[in-house]
Structure 1
Amino acid sequence: MIILGLTGSIGMGKSTTAKLFAEAGVPVYDADATVHRLYEGEAVSSIEAAFPGTTANGKVDRARLSEQVVHDPAAMKRLEQIVHPMLGASRQKFLHDAEQSGAPVVVVDVPLLFETGGEKRVDAVVVVTTSPEIQRQRILARDNMTGEKLDAILARQLPDAEKRKRADFVVDTSHGLNPVRARIRDILIEAAKMPRRRS
């Protein structure tokens, strides 16, 4: 089984690309969706203990948590030390189940793949990209997003040009869904012939 790591900076169209991989019949592991689930269950008590006042009604209040960690690298690190082991366990289970089901290729969707050394755990990296203008336009159209918040997020992410340089495959989402679907078909054909590379 070949594991493709899917990544891309905020607003590049990564979630849409992940959906199109799933539409093509590929099992997709979504790290963000898993974090959402952890924030409503398993991670709540540990996060409340580390960051008092960031949970309510048995769930993590993402806005309050974000206020405490977004500009504080040490706090971000503490949060990652709580969440990453839980994410790792759920990802292992996903990979095990996919392998059992006989899937030839799976996609692991991880926003901070390069930033967390995740490229060592996959066989090839797919980077989703678009123009800086389209990126900004997409992100600033989101609720609760400001230019300042966007800059703080981008500062934590490897620049797009660097990601593209390190990618095995690049998917450009600037021209609508059909070119992305065609690109995914090509990637799946290529990926099926690849040797396993992960360590």
Structure 2
Amino acid sequence: MIIVGLTGGIGSGKTTVAKQFKSLGVPVYIADEEAKKLMNRSKVIKRKLIRLFGEKAYVNDTLNRPFLADIIFNDTSYLEKMNAIVHPKVAKHFERWVSKQEASYVIKEVAILFENGGHKQCDYVITVVAPKEVRVERLLLRDNTSREKIAAIMKNQWTDEDKVKLSDFVVENIELQDVENQASKIHKKLLEKLK
């Protein structure tokens, strides 16, 4: 099974690109979504996160995201500690998911694919890019957040330039129509490589 990593900075439009591949019949695994589910479902993860962040980490048996975000925003070492708890579980979940797929390739969408070394487990990597100000505007609309919080997240991610250097394909996500065309071209190229 060929694994294609899909990544890009926050607000670049990875989800939009992932939907395009899904519409082409490609199975897509969204790592952040699965991580959120596991953080609420897995007793082991819950226990470890409560040990790390305290009892307030969960409210009514659900992850207290705003509480964790505030802690991580003020001390990024907590992000690394949390990732060390969650990422191995997500990796195992992904392996089980892949074993059930029957397509010629799958997409694994991960925001911090390069930052956590996940690109080494991929046969190809697609990076989604968009101008920084476009990304910021998207996030302000989508997440009801502040420019300060967006800047803090961007600071913890590699630059587009660094990601592009290690990528096999790049999707420039400004206009939806362009994204559809780019995704189709990449899909055709991947199918050709797999012949």
TM-score, normalisation: structure 1? 0.90
Structure 1: segments with no counterpart, 5+ residues: none
Percent identity over the alignment is: 34
Q: Following TM superposition, by how much is the alpha carbon of 1:169 offset from its aligned partner in structure 2, in angstroms?
A: 0.5
Q: Secondary structure at the match of 1:113?
A: coil
The CA deviation string for residues 21-71 of structure 1, in whole angstroms up to 9 with x for no partner, is: 111110001101101101221022321122111111111111101111233
1:18-33 equivalence runs, <5 A: 18-33=18-33
1:74, distance to aligned residue in structure 2 (A):
2.4
* Matching residue of 2:87: 84
**Distance in 2 separating the partners of 1:29 and 1:141:** 25
In 2, Cα distance between the equivalents of 1:65 and 1:132? 26
Equivalent residue number for residue 151 of structure 2: 151
Residue 6 of structure 2: aligned partner: 6
Q: How many residues align?
A: 191
Q: What TM-score results when the alignment is normalised by the length of structure 2?
A: 0.92
RMSD: 1.4
> How far apart in 1 are the matches of 2:175 and 2:6?
19
Distance in structure 1 (CA, Å) of the matches to 2:82 and 2:133:
32
Among 92, 96, 121, the alignment partner of 1:93 is 96
Whether the 8 Å CA contact 2:127–2:164 is kept in 1: the answer is yes
Residue 50 of structure 1 is matched in structure 2 by 52
Change (3 A) 1:62 1:174: same
Contact kept? 1:7, 1:111, Cα under 8 Å: yes
Q: How far is 1:192 from its partner?
A: 2.3
Q: Does the CA contact (< 8 Å) of 2:9 and 2:111 recur in 1?
A: yes
What is the CA distance between 1:18 and its match in structure 2?
0.7
Aligned ranges for residues 1-199 of structure 1 at < 5 Å? 1-42=1-42, 43-52=45-54, 53-98=56-101, 101=102, 103-176=103-176, 178-194=177-193
8 Å contact kept, 1:27–1:106: yes
